[in-house]
Structures are given as C-alpha cells and as structure tokens.
Amino acid sequence: MLEVLIEARGWAGIPLETLAHRAAAATLRHLDIPVEESNISLMACDDDRIEVLNASFREKPVPTNVLSWPSDTLAAGEAGQRPRAPVPDFDGTYELGDIAMAYETCAREAEELGKSLEDHATHLIVHGILHLLGYDHIRDRDAVLMQALEVEILGKLGLDDPYRI
C-alpha cells in the first residue's frame, strides 16, 4: 500500500512510517478507495532535496512542505466538484502516485503553528494524498472542498482542525 523512503535524518525523531500508514488508510477509507489495493510512495527528504524537486517540476526554486505527483489526472472540470474516482489497473491495484515532504520546512511550520511535528506531518500526508486523488486548493470552491475533507479525515484520526486560527 504505502512505501516510505526516509532520506533526511530529522524524520527519525518521529514515527513517520506509522503516522503515514494511519493517515493514508484513513484518507482512502474516507473516500471509499480500497486501502490494500492502493499504492502510494512517500519520500521524507530535506529542504535541499525538495527545493530541487520544486524547481524541476513547478519552476519554483524554493523549499516547500509537500509535493505530490499523481499517477492520473482526476481533477474535476468545475470548481467545487469532486474529482473523478481513481480506476484500478488491470491487476486491480490503484497506482495513486508519489509524495515528497521536507523535514526542515515541516518542522518550522509545526513550531510556528504551535503543533507537534507528528500532527503537522499527518496533516500534510492527508493533504498530499488528496492531491494525488485530484483535489486542489487553487480555486476557492476547490479549496473549501479539500479543506473540509482534510478536517473530517483528521478529526477521525483525533486531530484538531488545522485551519482553525
């Protein structure tokens, strides 16, 4: 289901693999996508690595917290609409895509937000998986839909609304 590659030493301070599996399972179950048949890769890297990826794929040569590369384009055509559901491959598996998270940016954001790194990382994993599934936050109505889903999923995991100020 979820393959986790930890490249940056900073991530060793939290049980990232356990958090990632919990977040992925909760997200997929919430959207009625078979957990065991779904494949996602998560690379836990540092700011230097994600800066290179962000420059290469988004032409933004700065670190960011999380990046996602969906295997398929599922985005809805109209703002505020749910994306198309993923379709399994011929063997019944759902190849959803890849996510990268940067330790330094995530740790800094968690501190600035007054949250634990574990909670913030969990939120970003849910956020990244929703991107793999076609959700986005560029258009206002899409952002409302995506954030509502994040709040629901995180609530099921016992975490507070990350958007409440």
127 labeled binding residue: yes
- Total domains in the chain come to 1
pLDDT at position 164: 84
21 labeled binding residue: no
Residue ranges making up the domain that contains 33: 2-78+86-156
- If you write DSSP's letter for every residue of 25-79 in order, what string do you get? HHHHHHTT--STTEEEEEEEE-HHHHHHHHHHHHS--S--SEEEEESS----SST
Residue 161 lies in a domain: no
What is the CATH number for 30?
A: 3.40.390.30
Q: What is the pLDDT of residues 83-111, one digit of tens each?
A: 999 999 999 999 999 999 999 999 999 99
> Does residue 1 register a pLDDT over 90?
no
pTM: 0.96
Residue 165 lies in a domain: no
